[in-house]
Amino acid sequence: MSATVAIVADRIGWEERRLIEAAPEAGLVVDWVNDESLCLGHQDAPSLTGYDAVLVRSRSYTRGGLIATLAEASGIRTINTASAIRACENKLELRAVLHRAGVPAGDFRLVLSRRDFEQALKDVPPPVVLKPVFGGMGKRVTLIRDTDTAQSVYDYVEDLGHGFEQASLVEPYLDGGTSVRCLVVGREPVATAEFASAGGDWRSNAALGNRSRALDHDPAITKIVDGVVDALGPGIYGIDLFQVPGGHVVNEVNHAPAFKAIAAATGADIPRAVARHLQETLT
């Protein structure tokens, strides 16, 4: 009998369609379940009854961890685990997890107030990057090149954001114009590519349609990826790294990574790799 897996997401995108198409070859039945209509809480929540596992691909930076927590509490296997998803959703928690594990991650200062912000700019002089603790896809990530504009930028954070949204990180701007994305399935990096900013946008983020090229195997990057997986547990991750003098540092880890761009750049059959991982996890 085929194992059944629910892809929990707010919509079916390119990645979800390819995962559903690849499932039968691995002996799986995969359905999309809208993450906006789960109504979890009761241990026998009907929205997930009958599924052997839940693949959480919520694009929201809060839903995934909440859904995984309740699914696990109901005895349903979640991929990734609830603890891993919560760490990926929260950039501060992720940095703390990686720091404890000895994985190199970028320098930062936590900003919860204007006073924090002013001190952060003294510790880490511009140019700096101001980014929300909760967020993804490069949204609301701001490059502050000089102190003249810094206070005006923070006005928007302070006046337009709720307390939850005001929590931010200040990081030194690493002026390389590129980042490395490793797509990990289970414990293995199945595709690695370099993304470069394109046009007038300084952000090197695959979601922004930037240029990309496949990278050869790099033992140093593999060692960092192994450290991330050791810290978070096996799963499906998009690990973003920046190059610094002496190596690379982890910038972010995405628990529900888009992979259309990296698949195009590398030729890797990521849906098939994910389907095999799901099948192996459920046997």
What class is the 175-282 domain? alpha beta
Look at residue 283 in the predicted model and tell me its pLDDT.
Answer: 84
For the four alpha carbons of 119, 123, 127 and 131, in that order, the dihedral sign comes to: negative
Name the residue among 111, 172, 122, 186 with its Cα closest to residue 143. 172
Q: Which helix (H) or strand (E) holds 18?
A: helix 14-22
Give the lowest-confidence range in 33-47, 80-94, 177-191. Answer: 33-47
Contact between 268 and 261 (Cβ < 8 Å): no
Domain ranges of the chain: 3-87, 109-172, 175-282
Helices (H), 182-254: 219-232
In whole angstroms, how large is the CA radius of gyration of the chain?
A: 19
Residue 47 reports pLDDT greater than 70: yes
Topology at the third CATH level for domain 109-172: Dna Ligase; domain 1 (3.30.1490)
Topology at the third CATH level for domain 3-87: Rossmann fold (3.40.50)
Predicted confidence (pLDDT) per residue in 144-153, tens digit? 999 889 999 9
Residue 206 reports pLDDT greater than 80: no
Residue 208 reports pLDDT greater than 90: no
Contact between 48 and 247 (Cβ < 8 Å): no
Which of the pair, 107 or 41, is modelled with greater confidence? 107
Q: What is the mean pLDDT of the chain?
A: 90
Q: Is the peptide bond before 234 cis (omega within 30 degrees of 0)?
A: no
Q: Tokens 């002013």: give the residue.
A: 118
Look at residue 147 in the predicted model and tell me its pLDDT.
Answer: 87
Predicted confidence (pLDDT) per residue in 55-103, tens digit? 999 988 788 999 999 999 888 999 999 999 999 999 999 999 999 999 9
> Considering the entire predicted model, what is its pTM?
0.92
